[in-house]
Amino acid sequence: MKMLLRTAVAAMAISAAPLAHAAERTVTLSVKNMSCVTCGPIVQKSLSRVPGVLRVQVSHKAGAATVVYDDAKASVAVLTAATTKAGFPSQLARHASR
């Protein structure tokens, strides 16, 4: 019985370990091709669909998108790929939090 209990505790510790390293990150992306007010919602929708994205704020005037995401589920590479796929290439402009 003790062996079974130890195995169960070890399994729970291993499965919970990745969660301990997850962090909420905020980045600003520089987004190209946003020329009018209808572009912003397209960029916002493409970023919002990325698993792990918590919040998105887009400014077509600034050509930027600020994204808050769970770094265990998403990355800057995935975020920029999402906007590029939607026709709005982007790159990291700034890390707001780490």
> Residue 95: its pLDDT value, please?
75
Half-sphere exposure of 7 (CA within 13 A, CB side): 4
> Residue 21: its pLDDT value, please?
67
Give the domain ranges of the chain. 22-97
> Residue 58: its pLDDT value, please?
97
Mean pLDDT, the chain, as a whole number?
A: 84
Bridge-based pairing of strands 53-59 and 90-97 is: unpaired
Q: What angle do CA 79, 42, 25 make, to 5 degrees?
A: 30
Q: What is 22-97's CATH number?
A: 3.30.70.100
Please give the average pLDDT of every successive group of 10 residues along the chain, which has 98 residues.
47 50 91 94 98 97 96 97 97 77
> Residue 5: its pLDDT value, please?
44
